[in-house]
Amino acid sequence: MIRLYSLFALIDLVLIIAALISCLSAEEHEIRALPRIVWVILILLFSPIGPIAWFVAGRPARPVRLSDGTLWKPGSGFPEKERPRPVAPDDDPEFLKRVAERSKREDEDLMRKWEADLRRREEELRQRDDDE
């Protein structure tokens, strides 16, 4: 039993050392979720959960090979302020123009139908007056 506990203690110590080395050698701007000092405290105080959390949620993201073969490194794209965002329909001038054109066409069609209906009714009234 003592051997098992000593094995777990050794594994925990190795995990803490590996997580600390990884955390302290990572660039500050690449560390995810929390500042470096918080990660160090988590790694040291909450063993083995802290080191595991570092490797899962704090370690810098690895580059990803895209389907076209290029290598994309997280964080190498646009700065957050310059990141292209989808434009809401209310802010998209092209969308608003299409809506206005569609609405204008629909209004014109409706007006033509009303005018045709009005002419038809006037003709019916004239014919009714002529018959009397």
Q: What string of DSSP letters covers 9-77?
A: HHHHHHHHHHHHHHHHHS-GGG--SS-HHHHHHHHHHSTTHHHHHIIIIISPPPPEE-TTS-EE-TTSS
**65: which strand partners?**
71
Identity at 12, one-letter amino acid code: D
pTM exceeds 0.85: no
Tens digits of per-residue pLDDT, 61-120? 777 777 777 777 766 565 566 666 777 777 788 888 999 999 999 999 999 999 999 999
Tens digits of per-residue pLDDT, 109-129? 999 999 999 999 999 999 988
Lowest mean pLDDT among 11-15, 53-57, 76-80, 118-122: 76-80
Cα(86)–Cα(103) distance, rounded to whole angstroms? 24
pLDDT computed for residue 89 by the predictor: 74
Residue 43 has pLDDT above 70, yes or no: yes
Strands 64-65 and 71-72: antiparallel
Distances (CA, A) of 103 to 5, 11, 41, 114, 116: 76, 70, 61, 16, 20
Smallest CA-to-CA distance from 23 within 3, 47, 51 is with 51
